[in-house]
Structure 1
Amino acid sequence: MGGSERRNPTDVSGGQWAYIGSFTSGGGHGITVAAVDPATGALTPRTAVDTVENPSCLALAPDTGVLYAVSDTTPGRAAAFLPGAGTLTALGPAVEVGGAGPTHLSVAGRRLLTANYASGSVSSLPLAADGSVSGPPAVLAHHGSGPDTDRQQGPHAHQVLSDPSGDWVLTVDLGTDSVRVCALDPATGDLRTHAETVLRSGSGPRHLAFHPDGEVVYVLHELEPQVTVCRWDPASGQLEPLSEVAIDTDDAPEDVRAYPSVVSVSSDGRFVRAAVRGSNTLHTLSLADGTEKPRVTSSVSCGGSWPRDLVADPSGRRLYVANEWSGDVTWFDVDPRSGQLRRAGAVSVPAAACVVFA
């Protein structure tokens, strides 16, 4: 496998696995492979592979099951791993993405896409038949800035993903207060900007999620605690802002700034959830009034400090949170009727950054 590896022989998963990325620069172990107890949702770390520096974001290819990781470094890199029964086998060396500080990645057909925060660009890398990553990358540079001189002195691409139709690629840029819609050339991997939707100045959009109907998008802002509701037209590739919903952060101390991190939509399309660092809260927004009218119905502590990621397990019965500063992953049982969250457990994962499920 290469590199150092840590193992725990206990296996209670019944074949269910979670992969947890962590910041090696903050004491993390790299990529942790954890067994999932199907009855309780408990995570049991089995293996940790540190061959990739700062794997802050992971993604599984839906067709091959290959696991991809970004290396949040300068220069930025991406790597591929073949999951086994509690193991990871590297599919070749990490490949430079042509940008700095990648914070997100996703798979689009036979291309691996990365959002490069530090350099303000997005990259497209070819994938071989076995799922390994190669180069050279095709790079699309963003341009622009925002009014926050500390955080928006230039473009900062934070997320890149395909829309549900697979016809478009959306890139979220914190530095330019906008979401770009791009066309991806399947032959060359080149990305071309098709449209740009400008959002509230100084709000710093960081992350978005599609409703399962594919027609509504929820954009979470890092510099303002709010969600922008947008209508998505896949036929024309246009994203139209409709309204803004403030996220309650009354629990945060007056001298602590709120930094929203990630938004997700439940698989049944009834709830939107958002994590907020600083206040260390998880907010549930109900869509009972309609997909375009989310409203906050409950808020709970994330159970740790600095929640960087939250993701539901494949069943939708539990929600998992990667708490970077407290160095743990907490999980919550989801009430199927109200959507409310009840903390059910936690496991130590130093400098945890993200969680994905096989």
Structure 2
Amino acid sequence: MTTTRSTTQARSGIARPAIWIALALLGSCNSGGSSSSGSNSGSDSGPTGLLYPDHEERQFVNLPMDPSLPTYSGTVDSFSVTPSLPQGLTLDGLTGVLAGTPTASISESPFVVTATGPGGSTQITLQFRVHDAPRFLYSTGPQDTDLSAYAVGASESDLGFGPIQGTGALTPGPEQITFHPGNNFAFVPNRGLPGLTGSVSSYSVSSSSGRLSHLGEVPCGEGPRRLALNRSGSTALVVTHEDNRLFSYAVDASTGQLTDLGDVLTNTGPTQVAVDPLGRFAYVLHDQSADITIHPLDPVTGAAGPMTQAINYWVTPPSDIAISSSGTIAYIAFAGENSLQTFQMDPIDGSLSPYAAITLPDGPRSLALSPYDDFLYVACEGDDVLEVLELDPASGHVTQSTSTPTDDAPVRVTLDDTGLFAFVLHSGAHTIRSFTVDPTTHVVSAGATVRARPLATDISVYQGEAPAQPRTEFLYALGGSTEDLSGFKFDSYTGQLTPISVDSLAGTGPTDLIVDPLGRFVFVAHQLSAELSVFQISPGSGSLFESLTRTSLSEPPAALGVDGGGRYLFVALPQSAQVLAFSIHPTTGELDLLDARPTGSGPSAVNPDPTGHFVYVSNTGGANDSLCSYRFEGGQFVSGPQFIPAPGSPGPVRFSPSGERLYVALAGSNLIVPYLIHPVSGSLTLEASGSAPAKGNTQVFEPHRSGAYGYSAATTSNGGIGEIRRYSIDGAGALDFVEATPSGIGPVTLRSGPSGNYLFVLNGSSDDLDVFGVDAPTGNLTRLGTYPVGMDPIALDLSRRW
């Protein structure tokens, strides 16, 4: 629910420019568009009032635009446009419909559409801008050891887990990620250990996968907190909280390397730094001296000079600052006073003159200003709301505010470059939630939620060449009796499989298979030979080759798991009741044993959660059937096991798209059961009321990426013919059986494709693989094809691309 409040401030007589409205009418007349008539028009005076009422100015690269239809009065024979529309967009010369898929970004530009009829013509000027899309969202935290990426799709409900990775830096404590304007590089201030020097790391960014490659780090005082780039990205400024300094670095736009330009003293406890968009001043916020210092910037190098002023109009520290794109207005939030103050910025010395203040909900912690300076978003931690303030861009006055509920304790809000997507990090709920912003009204609609790592304190958006669209690239099935691998290349448009190379594993007793989430390796567990093998995946073809000596184990392995960043392989050993953790070499796939922990009796499956913070083991020890959980950080099990009963032979666990729950099929009890995951400890809480009956020795339940439904595979008594059972999932995670769809004979496992458009089912008795198309709104299945695999197949996994 969204509530609206009006403020007592005036607009100061200046109308807000309607730049968020896609339609810009230049020289309009007759209720729309300009018109002219020819000398021989007769009684027909020509068309008038040309409009595109549903046109949206902002479009995304490689994302089809919604067709925009014209309205007008009179007779039109043809339409034309000058200059040519952005690459990939077209104007239908007969109907005037604008459509297509833009393929390159452009800044805001005017295009004149002309409608011509027997008696003359009418025109309208439309503004277009084409943006790179928000593609990945990153979270960081100074007490964490990892950087987490989330895949951002094209809608408010499309937010999922991406790759997790270590920082690669020698200095711990990543505070935030700031992306260079060219999107090729990222910079991370690392807080470091108490009393020791921190650093700033540089990374190159893979626009396709979201992976960050560490380029190096430079020293940066004690306790670096925040980093800000000037508008061109040529200079980086960093505040260090423990020694009260402001550091300046030159940024090499071709390599991403940083060069120290010196540092200057600030007041005590600097927490934030903001750069005037015109490159004149830097503003530093302090939590101990409760003030703001102003530092002039060198017009050539961009380096910050000594403070010229320290401004203190308040008794509580400022919590965040946002500066208008014109460099004339600063908005400063005060969480302790529940207020927002507006300041005019002096163009000569940068001093701040207060002239307006409003009261906000409890705990305004973070600000995000829209690209056109007409709306300000405020995360209010105490009242759990996202406050949206409508602004007069010329004066900075707030004219109206609306409140949208969030999860518990929102501490950070950020916008993508278009202002169409907002993302909020919650420290209480340990979640990240996406919101969409109506381009005209700025009404905020809540979208998807994903679980954040427990120690996350900041989020940043990366704009890419297209929204993230995860899809299946290759599938691999493990044959039990034939002891071989079957591989397929998947066509994500047709749903068809093309067989690729098959590798023999004769004499080794293969028991499980898993694919590296980054699509580099396939790992196989061998029961008879008690070893692990690594197959490299050939890019493009998907063929496999084994180049490493196999890793020997002390006993036969039962199951494999791999973390979401492809950094760690987990192995369940049933005889000694242990789970092992191996590091994975990023280039060769070579395995190195890191740690081992006891499990319950008879571990049969091991599954890391999508945040990479927890590991779960299914134990099939008869009367002691259970699930056990571990917290895993930096390559070590740092806590666990914690046990919870799961009576009835629990199979592998699968996670909800948000990462807040896991589901397990209990074959012995013929139940599918949800468990709630504690966001900090990873411990599980049984949600018995949300369970649903299963049938036919169900081994696994697979939630769909929408979170609205999921599937299990069952064997019927009718000759072993299988069926795929679909269950609805409500907002509390509870399951309800909906319908069954026939499959092959003796289904043993299934996988939902990352796009959500396909379901893959491995049939153990008919020795084949079914491919089903998924109707995303309903979950209904349509069989698209069946493909032979090795005899008695036992495991299936897939690789994905973004």
Within 5 A, what are the aligned runs for 1:295-310? 295-305=353-363, 307-310=364-367
Q: Distance in 2 between matches of 1:97 and 1:301?
A: 43
| 1:275 corresponds to 2:333 | yes
Is residue 321–residue 332 contact of structure 2 (8 Å, CA) maintained in 1?
A: yes
Structure with larger RCO (C-alpha < 8 A, sep 6+): 1
Q: Which residue of 1 aligns with 2:522?
A: none
Of residues 47, 62, 70, the one that matches 2:139 is 70
**Structure 2 vs 1, CA of residues 166 and 187 (structure 1 numbering), >3 Å: closer, same or farther?**
closer
Q: Distance in 1 between matches of 2:379 and 2:57?
A: 18
5+ residue gaps in structure 1?
1-13, 18-61, 144-154, 251-257
Q: Which amino acid aligns with 2:167?
A: E
| 1:329 corresponds to 2:401 | no
Q: Which amino acid aligns with 2:388?
A: W
Q: Which residue of 2 aligns with 1:36?
A: none
Is residue 80–residue 131 contact of structure 1 (8 Å, CA) maintained in 2?
A: no
Cα distance, 1:107 vs structure 2? 0.6
User: Which runs of at least 4 in structure 1 moved beyond 6 Å after TM superposition?
Assistant: 14-17
Q: Which residue of 1 aligns with 2:219?
A: 141
Cα distance, 1:231 vs structure 2? 1.5
**Structure 2 vs 1, CA of residues 269 and 245 (structure 1 numbering), >3 Å: closer, same or farther?**
same
Q: Which residue of 2 aligns with 1:123?
A: 201
Q: Distance in 1 between matches of 2:373 and 2:300?
A: 30
**Structure 2 vs 1, CA of residues 266 and 181 (structure 1 numbering), >3 Å: closer, same or farther?**
same
Is residue 311–residue 356 contact of structure 1 (8 Å, CA) maintained in 2?
A: yes
Cα distance, 1:321 vs structure 2? 0.7
Is residue 283–residue 300 contact of structure 1 (8 Å, CA) maintained in 2?
A: yes
Q: Residues 42-94 of structure 1, C-alpha deviation per residue, up to 9 Å, x if partnerless?
A: xxxxxxxxxxxxxxxxxxxx856333322314214242533321212444334
Q: Which residue of 1 aligns with 2:314?
A: 249
| 1:227 corresponds to 2:292 | yes
| 1:261 corresponds to 2:319 | yes
Within 5 A, what are the aligned runs for 1:171-250? 171-185=238-252, 189-200=256-267, 203-249=268-314
Q: Distance in 2 between matches of 1:181 and 1:289?
A: 22
Q: Distance in 2 between matches of 1:212 and 1:186?
A: 19
Q: Which residue of 1 aligns with 2:628?
A: none
Of residues 132, 144, 164, the one that matches 2:210 is 132
Q: Distance in 2 between matches of 1:309 and 1:125?
A: 26
Is residue 322–residue 329 contact of structure 1 (8 Å, CA) maintained in 2?
A: yes
Cα distance, 1:262 vs structure 2? 1.5
Within 5 A, what are the aligned runs for 1:48-67? 63=132, 65-67=134-136
Cα distance, 1:313 vs structure 2? 2.0
Aligned-pair identity in percent equals: 21
Q: Which amino acid aligns with 1:260?
A: P
Q: Distance in 2 between matches of 1:314 and 1:104?
A: 21
**Structure 2 vs 1, CA of residues 138 and 81 (structure 1 numbering), >3 Å: closer, same or farther?**
farther
Q: Which residue of 1 aligns with 2:402?
A: 345
Of residues 105, 116, 119, the one that matches 2:177 is 105
Q: Residues 147-180 of structure 1, C-alpha deviation per residue, up to 9 Å, x if partnerless?
A: xxxxxxxx22111232223222211212221111
Cα distance, 1:309 vs structure 2? 0.9
Of residues 164, 167, 186, the one that matches 2:234 is 167
TM (norm. structure 1) is: 0.68
Q: Which residue of 1 aligns with 2:151?
A: 81
Is residue 169–residue 181 contact of structure 1 (8 Å, CA) maintained in 2?
A: yes
Cα distance, 1:130 vs structure 2? 1.6
Higher-Rg structure is: 2
Q: Residues 161-212 of structure 1, C-alpha deviation per residue, up to 9 Å, x if partnerless?
A: 3222322221121222111112345566443322112223xx2222222223
Q: Distance in 2 between matches of 1:288 and 1:185?
A: 31
Q: Distance in 2 between matches of 1:289 and 1:114?
A: 30
**Structure 2 vs 1, CA of residues 169 and 246 (structure 1 numbering), >3 Å: closer, same or farther?**
closer
Q: Distance in 2 between matches of 1:212 and 1:89?
A: 33
Q: Distance in 2 between matches of 1:165 and 1:314?
A: 16
| 1:96 corresponds to 2:167 | yes
Cα distance, 1:344 vs structure 2? 1.2
**Structure 2 vs 1, CA of residues 291 and 309 (structure 1 numbering), >3 Å: closer, same or farther?**
farther
Q: Distance in 2 between matches of 1:354 and 1:206?
A: 14
TM (norm. structure 2) is: 0.32
Q: Which residue of 1 aligns with 2:415?
A: 357
Is residue 384–residue 410 contact of structure 2 (8 Å, CA) maintained in 1?
A: yes
Q: Which amino acid aligns with 1:107?
A: F
Cα distance, 1:138 vs structure 2? 2.2
Q: Which amino acid aligns with 1:311?
A: A
Is residue 105–residue 161 contact of structure 1 (8 Å, CA) maintained in 2?
A: no
Q: Which residue of 2 aligns with 1:56?
A: none
**Structure 2 vs 1, CA of residues 121 and 242 (structure 1 numbering), >3 Å: closer, same or farther?**
closer
Q: Distance in 2 between matches of 1:217 and 1:92?
A: 34
**Structure 2 vs 1, CA of residues 337 and 64 (structure 1 numbering), >3 Å: closer, same or farther?**
closer
Cα distance, 1:271 vs structure 2? 0.9
Q: Distance in 1 between matches of 2:237 and 2:362?
A: 31
Q: Which amino acid aligns with 1:272?
A: A
Q: Distance in 2 between matches of 1:190 and 1:297?
A: 41
**Structure 2 vs 1, CA of residues 186 and 164 (structure 1 numbering), >3 Å: closer, same or farther?**
closer
Is residue 80–residue 90 contact of structure 1 (8 Å, CA) maintained in 2?
A: yes
Cα distance, 1:265 vs structure 2? 0.9
**Structure 2 vs 1, CA of residues 282 and 100 (structure 1 numbering), >3 Å: closer, same or farther?**
farther
Is residue 247–residue 283 contact of structure 1 (8 Å, CA) maintained in 2?
A: no
Is residue 179–residue 197 contact of structure 1 (8 Å, CA) maintained in 2?
A: yes
* SS of 1:104 mapped into structure 2: coil
**Structure 2 vs 1, CA of residues 141 and 238 (structure 1 numbering), >3 Å: closer, same or farther?**
closer
Is residue 71–residue 77 contact of structure 1 (8 Å, CA) maintained in 2?
A: yes
Q: Distance in 2 between matches of 1:207 and 1:265?
A: 13
Cα distance, 1:356 vs structure 2? 2.2
* SS of 1:209 mapped into structure 2: strand
Is residue 230–residue 240 contact of structure 1 (8 Å, CA) maintained in 2?
A: yes
